Amino acid sequence: MSGNAFRRLRGDWLVRTLQFFLLLLAFLLFMGISRVFPFFPPPYRVLSAAGELISGGEINQHLLVTLYETLTGFLIAIILGIWIGLLLGVSRTLALIFEPIILSGYAIPKIIFLPLLMMIFGVGLNSKIANAALHAVFPVILNTLVGIREVNGIFLKVARSMNATRVQTFAKVYFPSMVPPVFAGMRIGLGFCFLGSLLAELFEAKMGLGFLVAHFYNLGQIAKMLAVILLVFLLTMMINAGMKAIENRLSRWRATWKS
C-alpha cells in the first residue's frame, strides 16, 4: 500500500470513528434531555415510532410528495441557476448590475417570499415547488459564476491561438473548470431545496413530511414527530452521500477530460 493510500485510509478511519462518537454523544444527550424534560420521549420510543411509520406505510405518501416537490424544484433551480450564472460570467456589465442583488437574495430568508409565491402560484403544490426552487437557485448561480471566473486565462489564450470555436472553447476550457464549483453549488442547493419544501409544508399543506411534523406536534404525538425528523435527517444524509459520490466520479472524469 502506497503512502498516500495509507494516509487516505487512516483519514477515513479517523472520520468514521469521530462520526461514531458524535452519534453516541447525541444519543446520550438525548437520553439526558428525556430524563430532564418528561415530554421528550426516550430514544427507543422514537425509534419504535419510526419503525411503525415505515412498516405501516403511514409515511410513504408524504415522503413521495416531499421528494416530488424537492426534485422538481431542484431541476428548475439547476436550469435557471446555471443559465443565469453563465450570463453573469460572460458579461461583466450584467455581473456588476445583478451580482449584488443575487448576493442579497442569497442572504435573505426565502420563507418570507412564501405568501407572495402563494399569491402567484396559488395554495398548493406549485407554490411549494416554487419555494423549493427559490431556496436552491442562489447557490447554483453563485457557484456557476465562481466556476467561470476560475478558468485559467492562459488556457483561453491557447484556445484562441488555435482558432477554437466557441463550442470547443466551452467544452475544453470552461466546462472542466466549472464542474467542481457548479456541482458543489448543486449539493448545497439540494439541501436548501429540501429545506424549502419542508418549510412550505409546515405553513400550507395537507401532505408532505413537513405537514406530518406539524400534524404530530398538534396531536401531541412527540415521539412520532421526532421520528419524522429523524427520517428526514437520514434521508438528507443519504442524498448528500449520493451527491458526494457523483462529485468524486466527476472529479476523476474531469482529470482525464482535461488531459
Q: Give yes or no for a contact between 66 and 212, defined as CB atoms under 8 angstroms apart.
A: no
For the chain (length 259 residues), average pLDDT per consecutive 10?
51 65 65 64 82 85 91 94 89 88 89 90 89 94 86 74 74 76 87 90 85 89 87 83 77 60
pLDDT score, position 6:
45
Distances (CA, A) of 206 to 53, 62, 114, 258: 17, 9, 16, 49
**H or E segment to which residue 225 belongs:** helix 222-258
pLDDT score, position 1:
47
Q: Give yes or no for a contact between 196 and 132, defined as CB atoms under 8 angstroms apart.
A: yes
pLDDT score, position 39:
67
